[in-house]
Amino acid sequence: MAGLLKTNTPPRWLLAELTYSCPLQCPYCSNPLDYTAYKNELSTDDWKRVLTQARKMGAVQLGFSGGEPLTRPDLVELVQYARELGYYSNLITSGYGLTEEKIIQLKTAGLDHIQVSIQASSQELNDHIAGTASFEHKQNVARLVKKHGYPMVLCVVLHRENIHQMPEILEMAEALGADYLELANTQYYGWAHINRDLLLPTKEQFETAEAIAQAFKEKVAGKMKIYYVVPDFYEDRPKACMNGWATTFLTIAPDGMALPCHSARELPNFDCPNVKDFSVSEIWNDSKAFNFFRGFEWMQEPCRSCDEKEKDFGGCRCQAYLLTGDASATDPVCSKSPQHGVIDELITSARTSALSDDEKPLVFRNSKNSRR
Amino acid sequence: MNISMTLNPENLLSFSPLHRLQWEEAQQKTVILYPEGMVELNQSSAEILKLCDGSRQLAQLVQELETKFETTGLTDDITAFLEVALKNGWITQN
Ligand code: SF4
Ligand code: SF4
């Protein structure tokens, strides 16, 4: 029995989704479609308790995200508390509403780094994708982040509407003096799942963009680090999602729900525990949800007897559920999956949409669409 | 930031202001923290990096460690590690 051999590794990475509110409306947002249904945000004290408990277990990387974390009035207080506990804290922001004064305040409170997301390399496209005029401001924020001595991380989420801008995106990052550039191909959960036909680039687009990014990576070696998050629909093996279920990552949603991965809320009947009811260590070690896909016992064939299962853990549980209806199935990205055909279908469907004259419009992430 | 990738023995060695060096109780290890990442260090690497505080050149650093661990002949190992550290941006020289 795996249960007897199993020793849980402690969480190392804590993602604190402080709020679902956000002034932007990105159509690939990973927040749940029904985010407006979760109203009771954790209090400042709840967050402090969670930070303390997770730190004691060994969590050291901390991401403040959302939604837009800047909309929480207690952000500076939480940053300071996290610093006292010894976390390395990352602010994951759209930059919207970030002033120089706030940047200084956060620095004094002990924030280690700010990751600013930019939607595209041109104002028009950025503002269209974000659903809000924000391009100029974001550029300015990026400069201020740098000016105040933070490592500057730019993040650009890639999809069919901006992937052709790869050369300009790279130039922009260089001009802004980014220390790190995260080129994150859209992962198709949450809002991106329903917008997939409009967001998924063609294979040729992927390959061209990736080749350009790789060449650039060599050019800027030693100056800028580039993280390229691969899209796995065009691979024949799935990604080792979350480094294995509940081995490393812990996400706490705005209402206190603890998730082994930030999309796990989408799994049906999953019943994730809430930090209002349990301690972080009870959740991590004893809850059904966190133990569900730990180890290899839960696997079906072909994963169960596959010699690659320790490499990719059978892929992503949320992707398996979204695309096959069964969260325990082999991730259909894997060419060994009996349901691998659904990947070809969705690629074809996106391609057809790309070539058609009257594409349906993107569904933007906002409260009106969330309540539909 | 000095982005030269080769170690200059004349220059003073500093730990990068864009990284943090920290002892982790839970792991019983010194680690380097940076945006969304962490490197675990073994004891000797940690000792070397702790001395990169902007007050020493290579030779002084070697000498101090040789004294501390009552040994000799560490120059090559330390140089090799510092080159890796420089390439990864963990240290700067100025
Ligand atoms: S992806 Fe866009 S809409 Fe979603 S939280 Fe981030 S900035 Fe807001
Ligand atoms: S069959 Fe399962 S374990 Fe094997 S490579 Fe595919 S996803 Fe990974």
Q: What is the ipTM of this complex?
A: 0.84
CA A214 to centroid of ligand 1, rounded, Å? 27
Under 8 Å between Cβ of A317 and A290: no
CA A213 to centroid of ligand 2, rounded, Å? 28
- B72 phi/psi in degrees, rounded to 5: -135, 175
Give the pLDDT of residue A3: 43
**With bands split at pLDDT 50, 70 and 90, how would you rate the model's confidence at A346?**
confident
| Run of H or E including A281 | helix A280-286
Find all residues with CB under 8 Å of A267, minimum gap 6, and list them: A317, A318, A321, A327
Give the pLDDT of residue B64: 94
Instruction: Evaluate if residue A353 carries a pLDDT over 90.
Output: no
pLDDT > 90: percent of chain B: 76
CB contact under 8 A, A222 and B35: no
**With bands split at pLDDT 50, 70 and 90, how would you rate the model's confidence at A266?**
confident
Instruction: Evaluate if residue B46 carries a pLDDT over 50.
Output: yes
Going edge to edge, which strands form the sheet with A180-185?
A225-229, A180-185, A152-158, A113-117, A88-93, A61-65, A13-17, A249-252, A258-259
Q: Please indicate if any CB of chain B lies within 8 Å of the CB of A253.
A: no
**Per mean pLDDT, which range of A190-194, A232-236, A314-318, A353-357 is the poorest?**
A353-357
Instruction: Evaluate if residue A160 carries a pLDDT over 80.
Output: yes
A116-156 per-position pLDDT tens digit: 998 888 888 888 888 888 888 888 999 999 999 999 999 99
Under 8 Å between Cβ of A181 and A174: no
Q: At what angle do helices A135-147 and A100-109 cross, to 10 degrees?
A: 40
CB neighbours of residue A221 within 10 Å: 13
A58 against A39, higher pLDDT: A58
* Chain B residues contacting A via beta carbons under 8 Å: 3, 5, 17-18, 20, 22, 24, 26-27, 31, 33-38, 87, 89
Contacts 24+ apart (CB under 8 A), A263-267: A263/A30, A263/A189, A263/A190, A263/A318, A264/A289, A264/A317, A264/A318, A265/A32, A266/A32, A266/A189, A266/A190, A266/A318, A266/A321, A266/A322, A267/A317, A267/A318, A267/A321, A267/A327
Instruction: Evaluate if residue A44 carries a pLDDT over 80.
Output: yes
* pTM greater than 0.80 (yes/no): yes
CB contact under 8 A, B36 and A63: yes
Under 8 Å between Cβ of A2 and A291: no
Closest chain A residue by Cα to residue B4 = A222
Under 8 Å between Cβ of A13 and A249: yes
CB contact under 8 A, A113 and B35: yes
Rounded mean pLDDT, B56-69: 93
Give the pLDDT of residue A269: 77
Q: Round to whole Å and give the CA distance between B88 and B81.
A: 11
Give the pLDDT of residue A7: 65
Strand partners, A117: A155
- Distance from A115 to chain B by nearest Cα, in Å? 8
Strand partners, A258: A252
CA of A115, nearest ligand number: 1
Rounded mean pLDDT, A247-261: 94
Contacts of A179 in chain B (CB under 8 A): 18, 35
Residue with tokens 């081995």: A247
- Distance from B35 to chain A by nearest Cα, in Å? 6
Give the pLDDT of residue B4: 55
Rounded mean pLDDT, A180-193: 87
Of A63, A88, A115, the CB nearest to B33: A88
